[in-house]
Amino acid sequence: MSSIELDHVSKLYANGAYGVRDVDLSIGEGEFVIFLGPSGCGKSTTLRMIAGLEGISSGDLRIGGRSVNNVAPRDRNIAVVFQSYALYPHMSVRDNMGFGLKMRGVARPLIEEKIREAAGLLGLTPYLDRKPAALSGGQRQRVALGRAIVRDPVAFLLDEPLSNLDAQLRAEMRLELVKLHRRLGRTIVHVTHDQVEAMTMGDRICIMREGRMIQVGKPLEVYADPVDTFVARFLATPPMNLLPARVEGRGDDLAVIGDGFTVEVPQMHRAAYAGLAGREVIFGLRPEDLHEAPQPGFSPIEVSVVAMESLGVENILVGQIGTGASGGKPLEISARLSRHFTAPVGARVPLHLDPRPMHLFDPETTRAFPRPSLRLVTN
Amino acid sequence: MRRIGLHLGLLFACAVILVPLLWVVRTSLLPEHLSYSPELMPAVTLDNYVALFTSTRYGQSYLNSLIVAFGSVVVALPFAAMTGYAFARFKTSGRAGRFAVLATQMLPPVAIVLPAFALLRTVGLTNSLTGLIIVYAAVNLPFLIWILMGFFEGIPVDLEWAAQTDGATAWGAFWRIVLPVSLPGIAAAGVLGFILTWNEFLFALVLSGPQTATVPVALAALQTSNGVQIAKVSAGVVLAVLPLVIASRFIQRFIVQGLTFGSVK
């Protein structure tokens, strides 16, 4: 049994500040869960509490159904891979990997066999006699993983293990971790602040902010239906466009009107948003929902180009809309356009906005106003 | 032009430090009656060294110094390592505790030496190497604690966490991971403690007797009613400096080696 349950778990520091606040989460056996959030949001603290390296101020933590609040790290049978890898510098790769088994009194031949197995799996066989100092960053990362694997723990806790690798290696290791998860079938909790890792690796994402877990769900669920403006902006680059606006009209004429844009609320959302008529809102739309070509139902806007970023597969247009008449600056907006679309800086270009995936947020609480989900992926 | 000025300045600084030392080496190798000769090197002899060992107790004192310096380091280091680790990792007595430890170093030694003498007399350890070892271990402890605290703070806590999740107890993590990793730091602290004890004069003067005098006391004893025996003093100083030269070679290597070679990126 390797399920992990956090039952209203909090971490209160001596100075009265909460590191983690009332986290309630159930991680199923064999599940790959991502803790995502900006630095200082409490995700690593939560991970360390699961590992037993950090005390729990209140709440209950259960691993495999057993409450482990007062169980020492060594008795939880959980492996942690640290951001710094934390390899023992005075030991060879072989001894690093075998340390956990040695501590548990496993017989030497069995330790050797497990090390050989894990080293083969991770491509570390030629380096077994080297010290960590003589390894590259990627190899050290593998040793840290190997050290976790040989112990055959009930769960792996990974604390930003890929953040010290260069972009290409990170992409490779991302894939390898996913494969490893499939192969071992163990519960994995992966802490990261990288949205790509969050979107691509896990079964579920848990987004944390200021010690609280603000949204938990499948990656595409969270992407399609963020609970507030923070999640909306955090989960992608460029982030969701958030524009102050006002809901006007009624029935078929329900529209969201802001400085430089008017969006007719599509049929599917009218019932949900009808009650907002006359209210100030924040209009949210992802950059990929702005298009160069008009289509029925799309709303036209005019954007003056501030910058064009050509990424090869696509072009990101950063522009301004509106006049800033309401006292503020003109609103900044980004659009993910085809790689064939170019426009000089300063030009005014027409774009077309697909209103179906739109979101409306409460400007005071920043929470999303509920509306029917548009997700096409349901698994 | 600036470089020339810089180098001249550095040469001058080297001269200020080296000339007296070289002069002592020269005097130690001259026959006694030529000690104050204006010539650079009128003759060479090892008589002063021979006389030092035959007509005085310098040999005995040298051995005493070695025993006391080694002994005090061996006694003080384990305590310093454990206390330094506790200060570095835990909230043990907070900042106040750390500074209280350092504050004991701020008392003038003369204020401690008489109480120390009274204490040792009560337990019958005056004029004994054991007494000297205990006193030096105690006197050097705060300094060693502070040095080691710095070294332990430089060791990433991740290493201990990794060891603990790997199945080690807190003590096991300290013993198997922290200690080996901080060995260069502990060695450096040991060498510094050795040098401190080796050079100390006041405590040795008050707490030792003729049998247990250390090198600084023995050198001072060469200042007799017939004047300073400068040739023997020079020979004694040259020999006294030797362990320090060797020690500084070691300490340099250990410190340069660094602490966490490749454990974390």
- Span B40-95, pLDDT tens digits: 888 888 889 998 888 888 999 999 999 999 999 999 999 999 999 988 888 777 78
Write the residue in A86, A99, A164 that is nearest to B263 by C-beta. Answer: A86
| Residue of chain A minimizing CA distance to B183 | A90
B162 touching A (Cβ < 8 Å): yes
Tell me the CA end-to-end span of chain B in Å, nearest whole number.
42
In angstroms, the separation between the Cα of residue B255 and the nearest Cα of chain A is 16
Write the residue in B161, B172, B265 that is nearest to A53 by C-beta. Answer: B161
Cβ–Cβ under 8 Å, residues A372 and A314? no
Cβ–Cβ under 8 Å, residues A146 and A119? yes
| Residue of chain A minimizing CA distance to B182 | A90
Q: Note the pLDDT of residue B247.
A: 81
Neighbours of A166 (CB within 10 A): 9
Which residue ranges in chain B fall short of pLDDT 50? 258-265
What lies within 8 Å, CB to CB, of B104 at 6+ separation is B142
B108 touching A (Cβ < 8 Å): no
Task: Name the one residue in this structure whose structure tokens are 């792996």.
Answer: A156
Which residues of chain A neighbour B260 with C-beta distances below 8 Å?
89
Model confidence over A295-337: pLDDT tens digits?
A: 998 999 999 999 999 999 999 999 999 876 656 677 899 999 9
Q: Note the pLDDT of residue A28.
A: 93
Boundaries of every domain in chain B:
1-45, 56-256
Note the Cα A50 to chain centre separation in Å. Answer: 19
In angstroms, the separation between the Cα of residue B265 and the nearest Cα of chain A is 6
Which residues of chain A neighbour B181 with C-beta distances below 8 Å?
88-90
In angstroms, the separation between the Cα of residue A164 and the nearest Cα of chain B is 8
Which residues of chain A neighbour B187 with C-beta distances below 8 Å?
none
Q: What is the mean pLDDT of chain A?
A: 90
Note the Cα B265 to chain centre separation in Å. Answer: 34
Q: Note the pLDDT of residue A300.
A: 92
Alpha-carbon distance of A210 to A207, in angstroms, equals 10
What lies within 8 Å, CB to CB, of A70 at 6+ separation is none
| Residue of chain B minimizing CA distance to A152 | B166
What is the torsional sign of CA A284, A289, A295, A300? positive
Amino acid identity of residue A325, one-letter, is: A
Q: Note the pLDDT of residue A327.
A: 63
What lies within 8 Å, CB to CB, of B35 at 6+ separation is B27, B230, B231, B234
B171 touching A (Cβ < 8 Å): no
In angstroms, the separation between the Cα of residue B253 and the nearest Cα of chain A is 17
B264 touching A (Cβ < 8 Å): yes
pTM, to two decimals: 0.81
Provide the chain B residues 175-214 that lie in CB contact (below 8 A) with chain A: 177, 180-181, 183
Alpha-carbon distance of B83 to A92, in angstroms, equals 29
Q: How many CB pairs under 8 A join A and B?
A: 88
Q: Note the pLDDT of residue A374.
A: 75
Angle value at C-alpha A323, between A318 and A324, nearest 5 degrees = 90
Cβ–Cβ under 8 Å, residues B120 and B130? no
Burial group, residue A364, by CB count within 10 angstroms (0-12, 13-18, 19+) = exposed
Query: CA dihedral defined by A150, A155, A159, A163, rounded to 10 degrees?
Result: 60
Does domain B56-256 fall under CATH 1.10.3720.10? My reply is: yes
Expressed in percent and rounded to 5, the helix, strand and coil fractions of chain A are 30, 30, 40
Burial group, residue B177, by CB count within 10 angstroms (0-12, 13-18, 19+) = buried
Model confidence over A189-232: pLDDT tens digits?
A: 999 988 889 999 999 999 999 999 999 999 999 999 999 999 99
Residue A65 bridge partners (DSSP): none
Q: Note the pLDDT of residue A135.
A: 92
Task: Name the one residue in this structure whose structure tokens are 């159904």.
Answer: A65
Inter-chain touch A133–B262, beta carbons under 8 Å: yes
- Tell me what ipTM this predicted complex has: 0.82
| Residue of chain B minimizing CA distance to A164 | B265
Alpha-carbon distance of A292 to B179, in angstroms, equals 64
Which residue ranges in chain A fall short of pLDDT 70? 1, 324-328, 375-379
| Residue of chain B minimizing CA distance to A104 | B167
